[in-house]
Structures are given as C-alpha cells and as structure tokens.
Structure 1
Amino acid sequence: MADTEGVFLPMWPDGASDDYIRARMDLAAAERRLRDEIENVAAARRALPPGAVIEDYILTEGDPQRQTRISQLFGDHDTLVIYHLMFHPDADAACPMCSMWVDGFHGVSHHLAQHAGFAVVAKAPQAKLLDWAAKRGWDGLRLLSSHGTTFNADLRAEHPNGDQRPMISVFTRDPGTTAIRHVHSLPANFVDGSQRAIDLLSPVWNVLDLLPGGRGEWYAENGYAGRDRG
C-alpha cells in the first residue's frame, strides 16, 4: 500500500500488534470494495433511461413572497437538485433528521452551486419555513414552499394521507426545449422499508460510523442542551 508519494505510510502508530495490523489491512480492502460499489451504483444511476417530463410548478419563495417556477431554480445549469424537507403545514418544526441533512447541504451549498441548481422545498407555508430556516441559520439556500400545490404529491414526496416524505430528487432540462425531466428520486427508506437510503448524503452518519460505538440508536434532535438553535 502506498500513498500519492509512492511511499508506504501505516495507518497506525508504533506499537500496533500484528493482529491489529492484519485486521486493519483486511478492513482497508473492504473499504476499497465499498468505494468501488458506491461508484458502480452511481454509474447505474447515471445510466437510467430518460425519466418523466414534469410540470413547471409554481412555488412560493422569499420574503416578501414571490412566485417562482421550478425552471427558474436551475440558474445557469441544466441540472437541478431538490431536497424535499419533511415539514407538514400543520407542524411547528421540520423533521429533526431532515433538518440535520439540510444543515449539511447548507455548509456545502457554495460547492454544489458550481455544478447544479439546488433548492429545499417544503409543504409548510413560506412564512413558517423561513422562520425555521432562520432558527437553523440556513441563509445560503433557496427555500421554497409548495403549500397549496400538488408538487409534493406528484413527486411522491407526500403520502396519500398528507404525511410528508423525506427525499432528494434530481431534474434536468431537455436541451433545446423548456421541458423539465425527472431523473431520479431517493427517499430516506429503501423500497423494502429499511432505512438509511440517503445516509451517505450526511457527514454526521459517516463520522459516527467511524466511532468504536458506531451510531447505535441515536436520532437527531432539533435542539441540544447548551445550543440555542432550532
């Protein structure tokens, strides 16, 4: 094993046992296989056939409020990413897990902007969404309300009973046309109902998985003792 200089640098300090070194090298091979499989899945995602053309929905954005079409969220890009924030119109706060994911997106939004349009859409009314965003410090994201529209239901980001569904979706604009095409959506649960489908999108889970105790049964909260936020 060598780094970019072609020189082997151990991943452990002096004093590591032979058993530890063997186990760590086995783990390193597994980590590489995991990386390769992640890249295989990403390639399969990019190879999907063209998705459905969707309506150019009109959402609510800003304060004072204005009407914004989905097509306007692309900016100078031909690709748009939307995170469907789980925030029911009658709720007083957004989902803690969704809020954690959006915290992460906010931190890297200036990097994402180099490649695609990015926005967060919630079913909660715009005033309620902006109030929540202010508490979280989301001042670098486009935040839009789909309240009063069928956007969430049509994109399957909402259950028939009105419960909201955490999900991320990607769209493209067809070259030479105004058509907006759905590429793919990834909800928080897999099709068999198991969880962790979008965990790779949050650094929190990836760091917790590095810890000796793992992530355990921990669940994000909208506020923690000693931290006045959300």
Structure 2
Amino acid sequence: MDEMDAANMEPMWPAAASAEYIDARIELGKAERRLRDQIEEVAALRRKLPQGTSLPDYTFAEGHRDLGRPEPTTTTNLSELFGEYETLVIYHLMFHPDDDEACPMCSLWVDGFHGVAHHIAQHVSFAVVGKAPLPKLRAWALRRGWHGLRILSSHDTSFNADLNVERAHGGQRPVISVFTKDGDGVRHFYSQPANFLDNDERGIDLLSPVWNLLDLLPSGRGDWYAANSYAGAQRAH
C-alpha cells in the first residue's frame, strides 16, 4: 500500500482539525485500508474452497408469501429454493421448537437482511430456515415484519443436524450457509457460524450494519447485546 499523507488524500476531518488529530487519523486510515485488503484476501480464499459435499434434496414446510395468511402450507425442496439462480444463501435461524421466540441476535441479523433483500435478490436466492414448527416461525416473522423473505421450517427433518447447525442435545446454532446447484444436484459451499473455530464470538458481525456502526463510536460496541424488544421503542415495520 502506498504511503498516505495529508497532502495527497481527501480529508476525513473538519477544516479546523488539529495537526495531532490529522496525524492520528491518517494512521487510522492506513489501518482501515489494510483491513479492507485483508477482507478481500479472505474472500478470495473463500472462493477457492474445494468442491463441497453433495446434499439430499431436503423438504421444508413453507406457507403463503403473505405472512398474515395461515394457509395453505406447502412443501418446498432445497433445490427449489434456488429459483433462477445457481447459488442459494440460507440463514439458519436459531429457534428451538420448544421456544416461543427466536434468538435476539439472529433476529437482528435477519432484520438487516430483510432491509436489503431487494438488493440481494439481484444476485442470489435467499431464505431463512428454522427448526421451530412453521406456525411459530411465521408468527415471529410477522411480528418482525419480515415481509417478502422466504421463511421455511426444517422441523421433523435432519437438515439442521446434517449441516451441524444443531448441537447433539438439540440446541440451535446461528449460522449462514451458501449452497450451489448444478446438473448433479445441490452441494454445500460454505458455512460460517456466529463463533469462530476457537469459539470466540463475532464470526458474522460483518454481515450486520449494527455492529459496524457501533464500532465507529467513541465508546465502541461495549458489551451491548441485542434484545427482541426495547423499552419505549416503536418498531419501524
């Protein structure tokens, strides 16, 4: 990366900024550029993954696109979720069949996906799959305002267990997965849980604008944790 200095870069500070601030901001700018380059290097490594395993054509329960309509319930195969594309992204919603609400962090992520769904749809098929029975999933999606997203239930299937998005005792894991389809069927391409290999958190933070915005603050993100509702807040949906 070429060296940067105040004379050769577009300013990221007010005209009255101190020399001390400008010097520190330039050093930060260099680090931000290195981070961008590393993100691109990781993306390139991801694209070079060897061919993934072939998968069964799992069958999910799905309802009407209008979340307010309880009927009809249909069955949808994994291969059918691709639509016109050869690639499919699934967010595995952490929603145990016995729970009444989905994981707050998962709900935060899907809120974000919902907000940009019309952009995502220009490139790839996208769906949200949870282990809870379909009526619970749809009721939760309706409460969150996830209109237009495909919401499917993997209840009574081995999909979650086979993809390792479910622990041996039945606990659900927050994971995003990418699948491909060709003449030989559906293959797994990539999965990333919310935790890294060493079980440290923040594995999919880059997929949520919330965390990236909080990281801009003088106080940082702190130990804040998402909730399914906030006192005094009104939903925008």
Would the TM-score normalized by the shorter structure come out above 0.5?
yes
Deviations 1:136-168 (A, max 9, x none): 000020000000000000000100000000000
Q: Which residue of 2 aligns with 1:197?
A: 203
Partner of 2:99: 91
| Offset at residue 105 of structure 1 (A) | 0.3
Residue 64 of structure 1 deviates from its aligned partner by 1.6
Q: What residue in structure 2 maps to residue 133 of structure 1?
A: 141
CA distance in 1 between partners of 2:175 and 2:9 (Å): 42
**Gaps in structure 2 of 5+ consecutive residues:** 64-70
Q: Please give the per-residue CA displacement for 1:98-118, whole angstroms capped at 9, x wherever unaligned.
A: 000000000111111111110
* SS in structure 1 of the partner of residue 92 of structure 2: strand
Q: For 2:169 and 2:9, locate their aligned partners in 1 and report how far apart those are by CA, in whole Å.
A: 57
Q: Distance in 2 between matches of 1:189 and 1:131?
A: 28
1:182 aligns with 2:201: no
**CA distance in structure 1 between the partners assigned to 2:122 and 2:164 by the alignment:** 28
Distance 1:110 1:41 in 2: 26
Aligned partners of 2:33, 2:112: CA distance in 1, in Å?
Answer: 25
Partner of 1:80: 88
Paired residue for 2:165?
157
Cα separation, 1, equivalents of 2:155 and 2:233: 30
| Letter paired with 1:12 | W
Which residue of structure 2 lines up, in the alignment, with residue 46 of structure 1?
Answer: 47
Shift of 1:16: 1.1
In the alignment, is residue 217 of structure 1 matched against residue 223 of structure 2? yes
Report the TM-score, using the length of structure 1 for normalisation.
Answer: 0.94
Deviation at 1:228, TM superposition (A): 4.8
Cα distance, 1:67–1:156 mapped onto 2, change above 3 Å: same
Give, in angstroms, the shift of residue 8 of structure 1: 4.6
1:47-126 to 2 correspondences below 5 Å: 47-62=48-63, 63-126=71-134
1: CA distance, partners of 2:38 / 2:15: 32
Distance apart, 1:17 and its partner CA: 1.1
Q: CA deviation at 1:227?
A: 2.8
Render the CA deviation track for 1:27-53: whole Å, top value 9, x for unaligned: 000000000000000000000000000
Q: Distance between the aligned counterparts of 1:42 and 1:10, measured in 2?
A: 29
TM-score, normalised to structure 2, is 0.92
Match of 1:173 among 181, 195, 201: 181
Amino acid at match of 1:41: V
Deviation, structure 1 residue 178: 4.4
Question: What amino acid does structure 1 have at the position aligned with 2:169?
Answer: N
Residue-pair matches, total = 224
Q: CA RMSD in A?
A: 1.4
Deviation of 1:226 after TM superposition, in Å, equals: 2.2
The verdict on how the C-alpha distance between 1:8 and 1:41 changes in structure 2, with shifts beyond 3 A counting, is: closer
User: 1:226 corresponds to which residue?
Assistant: 232
Structure 1 stretches of at least 4 aligned residues deviating more than 3 Å after TM superposition:
none
1:67 partner letter = T
Structure 1 unaligned residues grouped into runs of 5+: none
- Is the partner of 1:162 in helix, strand or coil? coil
Which amino acid letter does the alignment assign opposite residue 39 of structure 2?
I
2:53 partner letter: A
Matching residue of 1:17: 18
Write the distance in 2 (CA, Å) between the matches of 1:201 and 1:152.
Answer: 21
Q: What is the Cα deviation at residue 179 of structure 1? A: 1.0
